[in-house]
Copies of this chain bind each other. A is one copy, B any other.
Amino acid sequence: MQRDAVGAGMVSPRQLMASLVAEGVLTDPDSPRGRLLNAAARLFEQKGFARTTVREIAAEVGILSGSIFHHFASKEDILCSVMQEVTVYARARMASAVAGADSPRERLRACILCELEAIHGLAVPGFSILVAEWRSLSADSQRSVLRLRDEYERIWLETIGGADCPGGDPALTRRLLLGALSHSHSWFKPKGRGLSLVELADRVLLIFAPQ
């Protein structure tokens, strides 16, 4: 029997985003700022932060490069904002996914799938940037993102602690998992005729929580 994707029983990505926008904790993706963030996320993911120019980001949403600075203080501010938005969204999504899972093992599965979907842009573009471009951020910006990320990681640690993972060190397990999952961005093609994302999640689960 095909297991359910994370989405089952959850609010849809669109609904979730809408409610976060309503709460004022996320930028409206249809606003100029929101469209810039999306374009930037896509480009940073595709070509990397350093190789993306503000001109390209601006062109992507049909404005000129100078106009970007009405919305962001600097190029780094764009990156930081992207990361913040991604973090906020991923955290909400993760909370919702875990809440909808019954057993400890299901919860871990939900976390893995949730992060995989984020990494591969199914839910929100830009998650892989968090790992790949971390060093492009100034120390201050890193702190601001880390603060937002805290709870996201807390959920992960609790979930790993609850599941029966070998090694007995949830922090280490989490780090290995983060590396393994985020690297999948460079080789896993969800469109392919091979593994689906859900299948990949199950394989990973089998390794990090056997039985």
A167 close to B207 (CB less than 8 A)? yes
Tell yes or no: A193 within 8 A of B by CB.
no
B183 close to A175 (CB less than 8 A)? yes
B210 close to A166 (CB less than 8 A)? yes
B136 close to A203 (CB less than 8 A)? no
CB distance from A59 to the nearest CB of B (A): 15
Tell yes or no: A179 within 8 A of B by CB.
yes
Which residues does chain B contribute within 8 Å of A141, judged by CB atoms?
none
Tell yes or no: A173 within 8 A of B by CB.
yes
A183 to B166, CA, bound (A): 20
- What string of 1s and 0s marks CB contacts (under 8 Å) between A149-184 and chain B? 000000000000000011101001101111111111
Tell yes or no: A10 within 8 A of B by CB.
no
- What string of 1s and 0s marks CB contacts (under 8 Å) between A45-59 and chain B? 001101100000000
Number of this chain's copies in the complex: 4
User: Which of B47, B176, B186 contacts A180, CB < 8 Å?
Assistant: B176
Tell yes or no: A135 within 8 A of B by CB.
yes
A43 to B185, CA, bound (A): 25
User: Which of B135, B186, B187, B200 contacts A47, CB < 8 Å?
Assistant: B135
Tell yes or no: A72 within 8 A of B by CB.
no
B179 close to A182 (CB less than 8 A)? yes
A207 close to B166 (CB less than 8 A)? yes
Interface pairs (13), CB distance under 8 Å: A50-B50, A131-B183, A167-B203, A167-B206, A173-B207, A176-B184, A177-B180, A179-B181, A179-B182, A179-B183, A179-B184, A182-B183, A207-B207
Given A50-B50, A176-B204, 19 new contacts (CB under 8 A): A48-B135, A50-B51, A51-B136, A131-B183, A134-B186, A165-B207, A167-B207, A175-B183, A175-B187, A176-B180, A176-B184, A177-B180, A179-B179, A179-B180, A179-B181, A179-B182, A179-B183, A179-B184, A182-B183
